Structure 1
C-alpha cells in the first residue's frame, strides 16, 4: 500500500508495482548471497584467489555484492516496509531512490567486472586494479606519513609480484564499471531489458547529479499533473535506475554462486531464500500463503 501525504499526488499500484518487485528481489538476493557457503575447493574463485591470496578475490566480490544489497534493502525498507502502520504514508522523491540505487549499481558493478573477465589472468588483473585503488584511497585518507609510505610500498610490491604494469592496473572509473557490467548483463540476460550503453550512462549521470544536488535531474526528470499544473518526480525515472541496479546485482549474486562452485545448488538456495523472505512480507488479501516454485 502506498498512500500520499497531503498535497502530493497519490501513486497507483501499477506505477509502484515494479518498485515492490525490486524490493522483493533485493531481499531475496541478500538472503541468497548469505546462504552461499565458502568457495569450494577447485571452483573458479578458488583457483583465482591463488593469484592474490593475501586479498582473497571471493571476499572482495562478496563484499561488493553485500554493499550493493545493503543499499537496495535500505531503500526497500523505506518504500515497502515489512510492517505497515494503518496511517502510514510513503513520500517518494528522486534523490533518495537514485542515490541508493546508484550506490548499489556501482558496488555490484565491481563484482561483475571481476566475475565477467575472459580468463584467469584478466580476472586477476581486474581484482588487483580494484585492490590497488582501495589501497590508494586508504593512503590518501591516512593522517601520518609512515602509513602513507607503507601503503605505497605495499602497492608497488603487489604490482611487481603479479607482473602487471601501472597501465594494466590503472583503476577504471565508476562509469566505465557501470557501462561494462550493464553491457555484460544485457548480453547474458537479454530479458533484463537494460537499455543501450548511452541510456545506462544517462541513468548513472542523473543519479549522480541528484546525489550531489544538481538542478538538471530535478528539472528534467519530472512530470506535470495536467489537472493542477504541479510537478512531481517522474516515477519512470525511479523505476529505471532501480531496475538497472537490481539486474546487475542479481546477475552478480548468481555469477558469484556459480563461480564459487554452487551452480547445481543455486536453484534450491534461491527457493529457500524466497520462502524466508515471503514469510516476512505483508500479503495482500487473497495472496497465497507460500511463494510459488521458481
Structure 2
C-alpha cells in the first residue's frame, strides 16, 4: 500500500510538471521575423533574389547593399546589384557595379553586354582616342581571364618549363634533348607572358583612378574652384579617369582626352 501511494504521488508530480511546461510554452510569445541585422548573409541573399524576381527592385537593392555593408563582395553580388540599380533607372550606380563585377570577372560576356546596354543609355557620347591595334588586341586577350586564372596558367607554365629543362639535362638521345630545350624556351615564354597578364589584371583590379559620375549632371571646371569657367558638362554613368586631387576637387580626363576639375562628391571610384 505504501509503495502504491509513492507511485501515485510520483506519477501525479510528473503529470503536473508536464502540464506546467505546456502552459509555459503556450504562454511564450510567437517568434518574431528576423531583422536584417540578425539575418545571415545567405538569408539576405535569398531575400534579395526573391524581391528581384517579384519585381520589387527597390527592396532587392537595399538588401544587396546590406550584404555589401558587411564587407562581403563577389561577382554575383556586384552583378545582381547592378541589375537592380539598372531596373530602378539609376544608371550611375548600375555602371559602377557592372564595372566592379567586370574587374573580378573580365571574361564574363553577360556582365560586358549589360554594361554596354547601361552605357548606351548615358547622355554623354564620347569618342575614344584610337589605340594601336596590337595594344588593344593584347588587352582584349588579357581580359579573357581573371588575375587568379592567369596566375594559375603562369604557375603551370613554370612547372612545365622546369620539367622540360630536366628532360633536356637527363635525356640521352638527341631528339629528346632538342624537344626538352625548345620546349623549355616555349614554356618560359608562356610563363613570362601569362605572368605579365596576371600582373596587368591585378594592377587594373586595384586601380583607384577610374571613377563613374554619380550626379545627374555636373559641370567640369577649368580649375578647382566653383567660380571657375565651365569647360563641359558630364552626366550620370560617364566613366572618367582621376589624374589629380586637391582638397575636395578631382582633376579628371575623359575618353576623348578632355580634362578638367569637378567636385569629388559627384563621382565614385570603381
Structure ranking higher on relative contact order (CA contacts 8 Å, 6+ apart) = 1
Same structural fold, with TM-score higher than 0.5 when normalized by the shorter chain: no
Report the TM-score when normalising by structure 1. 0.25
* Structure with the higher fraction of residues in helix conformation: 1
Q: Larger radius of gyration, structure 1 or 2? A: 2
* Structure with the higher fraction of residues in strand conformation: 2
Report the TM-score when normalising by structure 2. 0.27
